[in-house]
Amino acid sequence: MSEERSGANILVESLVKQGVEFVFGYPGGAVLPIYDALFGDERLRHILVRHEAGAAHAAEGYARSTGKPGVVLVTSGPGATNAVTGIADAYLDSIPLIVITGQVPTGLIGSDAFQEADTVGISRHCTKHNYLVKDPAELAAVIDEAFQIATTGRPGPVLIDIPKDVQIASAVWTDALAQRRQRYAPRTQGTRQEIAQAVEMIAAARQPILYTGGGVINSGPRASELLRELQAKTGAPVTSTLMGLGAFPADHPDWLGMLGMHGTYEANLAMNQADLIVCIGARFDDRVTGRLDAFSPNSKKIHIDIDRSSINKIVRADLPIVGDCAAVLEQILAEWGSRKGQDLTEWKACVDTWREKQSLCFPLNDEAIMPQLAIQRLYELTKHRDPVISTEVGQHQMWAAQHFPFFSPNKWLTSGGLGTMGYGLPAAIGAQCGNPDSLVIDIAGDASIQMNIQELGTATQYRLPVKVFILNNEWMGMVRQWQELTYESRFSNSYSDSLPDFVKLAEAYGWKGIRIENESQLDAGIQAMIDHPGPVIVDCLVHKESNCFPMIPSGASHVDMLLYGDHVLGTMDDEAKALV
Amino acid sequence: MMHIQQEAEERHVLTVTVDNEAGILAKIAGLFTARGYNIDSLTVADITENHAVSRITIVTHGPPSQIDQIHAQLERLVPVHKVVDLTEVGPHVARELALVKVAGTGEKRVEALRIAEVFRARPVDTTTESFIFEMTGAPDKIDSFVALMRDLGLVEVGRTGIVAMARGPQEA
């Protein structure tokens, strides 16, 4: 079948052909033809957000929780610039997004037209790839290629800028698959020598550790299964970055917990003392390594990553393997066969002594709810529902990572690389769209939640029963904590003054609002939240000055962790202050 | 007190083969600025009959680990087909074209012309009081020529930046 169709129509047909279910967007002048093509089309569900940043984060939440690419549709100029934070977020966390932006008509590009911005220029360094389409005849092939680029190799956001006249002009449309240009072919498998060497190194290691990251999640559920198989064969203890939580079950005896700045004592000490680190889909981020010259001084490193540029960027790898986590793990397991590794009894005894520190312990408080306790209760009361958890950014995010255990991938949605406050609520909305029967909870802070609070209206409109669980300590807690620990408690602008009444705010949007003021109300409040069939905000008032520990202070190494009860001077030298 | 520390640096010549699409030069130049890499020179022109593919030659300097990152980061861009670090590959030819305008009369004018002959620089524009010399060669040869012209009435210099290619019969 071949016929003439408008650019807008070709776009919609191409999205349907790609299996898109949801489009997260906001209309405006330069996308009116596309919105007209969407009108009355039952095949695509358009979710109208309240701000374009919300559209991008919602698409991220959808993508992260379903493994499918998220689709964003916004107008030119401010529509596109508002979406940039979400695009940059997806870029750093390798989330597949297709972002469609309207543009002023081709003849007006460069004339400072109304709502014109150089979207391709602005998004160039925060997208995996981007396009300005000047001919409707190219649209189908571009969209096809965009999906391929966004979802293969290291996933990421791809932006397609479409001028308004290109949306209106027509071109020949065939329902055959558009021809791909086939220029993008990422390497997915390791070479035989690499795999053989990896197996040899793992089998010879006496103090091995598996250090896993978001790449295992991105690679698909199979990668998590294979990781568990490799662990079972080798017996190596496992730690994970913030982005990789869920790939390995948190109740496994060899699970060490998260590593890095707010990771557990045992995870960081094991990294420091290991003789072999097998890094699988992680990238030695500064939040993970701490002081680089003291990072894991005695270990060999195997680094498995689909992105060659992640290897040797921060830490030199003794054996780099460029490839997809699942594919390479499959190869390693095949090569491993029925081999036996070294006896790890001594190593595990070592790990057990570090575990005895119980680094996640926190003092209870008679007057106020400890935020860690609130997370633990939230987990206990919701675990039978296998919930999807999103977070904002800050102390609450780290407490959730520490105290809310995960057992399977795609349940944990958080902004790791960019650290975007305001991510959690729209991400929860996107996740709820893709997982209509799941319990989806945004664990939030009182400051972060206000960054995209307008999205309450989106959940109301589409009857999405998302839950927002605010750990309200009346501070930008992580900023306050750093100011306490490194700037002699000079709390510059970190107090959350003039907070709204979150319960009334919930009610104003047609949500249910619940306030939890003390420990005796905690379980009942959480239960009421779960039992309510619609969206709920829980305003959980917690201990105001709690710090998130353990913590590797800026400029310190893995062995210099701060634990609860440590004496902290509250000062820091300039070299340490200057680190991120 | 805090001081910024420096690492030892190397100079490398990279050739990058790319799809000749809108914005590709901005993408590559922008990658260098965004990640804090140095560009000493950059040349670009399309090299296929249908104008679909361009070859970019970039001269950069930095610590070895950074040069390796530049290589990897360039390779990661979707429109990039191939990146070759000629300095790693081995012996290569690097050439640059320069236009050098020199104005003067009398002995200085004669001397300028004489030196130009020694350097095999060709006058491509001549007036009674000026020359424009065209010369190609390795960058240091052009540097020396320009330095000599400084005393002989140098007015203006234009240089292309280098293009480079590995020696021998094979494609690098």
pLDDT at B38 over 80: yes
Write the residue in B1, B69, B81 that is nearest to A313 by C-beta: B69
Q: In whole angstroms, what is the distance from residue A509 CA to residue A87 CA?
A: 27
Of A115, A148, A342, A461, the active-site residue reads A115
Q: Is A504 a catalytic residue?
A: no
pTM, rounded to two decimals: 0.94
Give residue B7's pLDDT: 81
Q: By a Cβ cutoff of 8 Å, what residues of chain A touch chain B?
A: 120-121, 124-125, 128-130, 132, 149, 154, 183-184, 307-309, 311-313, 316, 573-575, 578
Alpha carbon A259 to chain centroid, angstroms:
16
Q: Is A271 a catalytic residue?
A: no
Q: Which CATH class is domain B10-89?
A: alpha beta
Helix (H) or strand (E) holding A141: helix A136-151
How many interchain CB pairs under 8 A, A with B?
46
Q: Is A164 a catalytic residue?
A: yes
pLDDT at A182 over 80: no
pLDDT digits (tens, 9 = 90+) for A444-491: 999 999 999 999 999 999 999 999 999 999 999 999 999 999 899 999
Complex ipTM value: 0.89
Annotation: CATH topology of B92-166: Alpha-Beta Plaits (3.30.70)
Q: Is A392 a catalytic residue?
A: no
Give residue A176's pLDDT: 73
Q: Is A398 a catalytic residue?
A: no
Judged by a CB distance cut-off of 8 A, whether residue B4 touches chain A is no
Mean pLDDT of A81-103: 98
Mutate to test the interface with B, among A159, A309, A573 (most CBs of B within 10 A): A309
Question: Reduced to 3 DSSP states, what percent helix, strand and coil does chain A have, rounded to the nearest 5?
Answer: 40, 20, 40
Inter-chain residue contact B2 with A578, CB threshold 8 Å? yes
Tell which phi-psi region holds residue B158, choosing left (phi > 0), alpha (psi between -120 and 50) or beta: beta
CATH fold match for the domains B10-89 and B92-166: yes
Round the average pLDDT of chain B to a whole number and report it: 95
Q: In whole angstroms, what is the distance from residue A82 CA to residue A28 CA?
A: 13
Mean pLDDT of A51-68: 98
Concatenating the DSSP letter of every residue in A379-427 gives HHHHGGG--EEEE-SSHHHHHHHHHS---STTSEE---SS--TT-HHHH
Burial of B7 (0-12, 13-18, 19+ CB in 10 A): exposed
Name residues whose C-beta falls within 8 Å of residue A289's C-beta, 6 or more positions apart in sequence: A260, A295, A314, A315
- Band (A567; pLDDT cuts 50, 70, 90): confident
Inter-chain residue contact A308 with B72, CB threshold 8 Å? yes
Residue B75: list chain A partners with CB under 8 A: 308-309
Write the residue in A125, A308, A313 that is nearest to B34 by C-beta: A125
**pLDDT, greater one: A184 or A436:** A436
Domain ranges of chain B: 10-89, 92-166
* Domains of chain A, each with CATH number or no CATH: 2-174 (3.40.50.970), 192-355 (3.40.50.1220), 371-541 (3.40.50.970)
Q: Which of A415, A416, A389 lies closest to A400, judged by CA?
A: A389
Q: Which of A14, A72, A75, A83 lies closest to A46, judged by CA?
A: A72
Round the average pLDDT of chain A to a whole number and report it: 96
pLDDT digits (tens, 9 = 90+) for A288-305: 998 899 999 999 999 999
